């Protein structure tokens, strides 16, 4: 029994009293309370893999910021790890895979992940569910197969992901096999998240923007659709960062909500996606402004979505050096709009 189900109703395109609001990366990017939990641990992964602590930092933004949903604290790279490819989270540098997938032989070392391989996240959701006691819904999530594939081939972040993109030209068969394995792993993982209590799920395609449109259709959107079509129990959100060119195609994806970058034209998105709820899309840098600027920018953003099903958010994850008071100001502006 949810006391606040605004975000679920907005996702389903139903009437809402006010626009719901949450932030990507709200769990742990900016709060001193998060940092104090984190400081006691060996690293980021220990936090991801310790359900009680993951639940604690998941709930912090609900208590401290007043958001309308809790997104489970985890990482998209738990999937490759569960498939057999370990990652390290290097402080201030980001993820690194000591081993990458270069050939069919490497692929043989991988398996399709089972939810029990990711029991720590499932347990974290259960604990969160219990502790939240219906205050707000829980958002589960996973990376889009193309984005996960990129990391598994590239071995870490990259400006161009040219190694991953090269694989699509040089070995489309291997590419599709790996994408299929990631997709299968992701579907059962998201279903387990839902069974554990996630009320909606989001698919993050962080590197959507580096693909040419034909490759995006073939190597990314196809697998996103398989996932979105498989998750019938709860509303699905797709956030394909940088995929302006694919906005039109999102109309045909079996998701309820489409996330928008801060550089996307809201007016155009509304025309192209009349039947989708839209999520976003304030420039994360707008929160560097004064309190008056934050209020003004937030209101301008809300004006643009007026009359369309909308979940307020930034157009990207909150930047780590953002003042939590400015985040609160953003959230309160949405709530009192």
> Can you tell me whether residue 283 is helix, strand or coil?
coil
Structural contact between residues 246 and 222, judged by C-beta atoms closer than 8 angstroms: no
**Sequence-distant (≥ 6) Cβ neighbours of residue 5 within 8 angstroms:** 137, 199
Among 63, 166, 195, 303, binds a second copy (CB under 8 A): 166
193-212 positions binding a second copy, by CB under 8 A: 209-212
Distance CA 224, CA 211 (A): 15
Give the residue with the Cβ less far from a second copy, 89 or 112: 89
Should residue 242 be labelled a site residue for a second copy when binding is judged by CB under 8 A?
yes
Out of 244, 328, 335, 337, the residue judged to bind a second copy by CB under 8 A = 244
Q: Is 285 in the site for a second copy (CB under 8 A)?
A: yes
Q: How far is CA 329 from CA 85, 291, 326, in A?
A: 41, 7, 5
Nearest distance in Å: CB 26, a second copy: 17
Query: Does 260 sit near a second copy (CB under 8 A)?
Result: no
Indicate the residue among 182 and 269 with the shorter CB distance to a second copy: 269
Distance CA 257, CA 277 (A): 4
Site string for a second copy, 295-334 (x = CB under 8 A): --------------------xx--x-x-------------
Is 12 in the active site?
no
Rounded Cα distance between 299 and 204, Å, is 26
Of residues 218, 212, 219, 239, the one with CA closest to residue 228: 239
| Residue placing its CB nearer to a second copy in the complex, 185 or 220 | 220
The answer to whether 74 and 150 are in contact (CB under 8 A) is: no
160 near a second copy, judged by CB under 8 A: yes
Measured from the CB atom, the residue of 43 and 213 that comes closer to a second copy is 213
* Angle separating helix axes 162-170 and 145-154, nearest 10 degrees: 100
Beta carbons within 8 Å of 162's beta carbon, 6+ residues apart: none
237 C-beta neighbours (distance < 10 Å), count: 24
- Say which of 38, 135, 218, 248 is annotated catalytic: 38
Which residue stretch of 26-34, 72-80, 154-162, 195-203 sits at the interface with a second copy (rule: CB under 8 A)? 154-162
For residue 248, indicate whether it is catalytic: no
Residue with smaller CB distance to a second copy, 97 or 207 = 207
Distance CA 147, CA 243 (A): 12
Question: Of 182, 165, 158, 169, which Cα lies nearest the Cα of 107?
Answer: 182
**Least separation, in Å, of the C-beta of 221 and a second copy?**
13
Q: Is 244 a catalytic residue?
A: no
Residues that bind a second copy (CB under 8 A): 157, 159-160, 162, 165-166, 168-170, 209-213, 215-216, 242-245, 262-265, 268, 283-286, 288-289, 293, 315-316, 319, 321
By annotation, the residues acting in catalysis are: 25, 29, 38, 75, 151
């Amino acid at each position: 029994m949810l006391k606040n189900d605004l975000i679920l109703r907005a996702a389903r395109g139903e009437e809402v009293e006010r626009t719901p609001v949450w932030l990507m990366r709200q769990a742990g990017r900016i709060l001193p309370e998060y940092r104090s939990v984190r400081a006691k641990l060996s690293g980021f992964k220990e936090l991801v893999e310790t359900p009680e602590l993951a639940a604690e930092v998941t709930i912090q933004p609900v208590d401290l910021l007043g958001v309308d949903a809790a997104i489970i604290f985890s990482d998209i790279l738990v999937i490759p790890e569960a498939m057999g490819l370990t990652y390290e989270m290097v402080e201030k540098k980001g993820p690194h895979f000591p081993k990458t997938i270069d050939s069919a032989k490497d692929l043989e070392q991988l398996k399709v992940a089972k939810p029990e391989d990711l029991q720590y996240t499932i347990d974290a959701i259960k604990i969160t569910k219990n502790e939240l006691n219906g205050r707000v819904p829980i958002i589960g999530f996973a990376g889009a197969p193309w984005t996960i594939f990129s990391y598994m081939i590239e071995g870490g972040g990259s400006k161009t992901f040219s190694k991953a993109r090269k694989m699509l030209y040089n070995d489309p068969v291997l590419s599709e096999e790996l994408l299929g394995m990631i997709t299968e792993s992701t579907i059962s993982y998201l279903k387990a998240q839902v069974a554990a209590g996630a009320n909606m799920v989001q698919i993050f395609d962080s590197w959507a923007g580096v693909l040419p449109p034909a490759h995006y259709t073939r190597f990314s959107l196809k697998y996103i659709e398989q996932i979105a079509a498989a998750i019938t129990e709860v509303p699905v959100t797709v956030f394909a960062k940088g995929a302006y060119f694919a906005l039109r195609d999102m109309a045909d994806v079996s998701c309820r909500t489409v996330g928008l970058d801060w550089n996307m034209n809201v007016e155009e998105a509304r025309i192209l996606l009349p039947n989708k709820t839209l999520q976003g899309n304030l420039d994360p840098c707008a929160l560097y402004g004064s309190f008056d600027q934050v209020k003004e920018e937030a209101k301008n953003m809300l004006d643009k979505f007026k009359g369309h099903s909308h979940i307020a958010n930034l157009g990207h994850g909150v930047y780590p050096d953002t003042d939590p008071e400015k985040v609160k100001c953003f959230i309160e502006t949405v709530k009192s709009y």
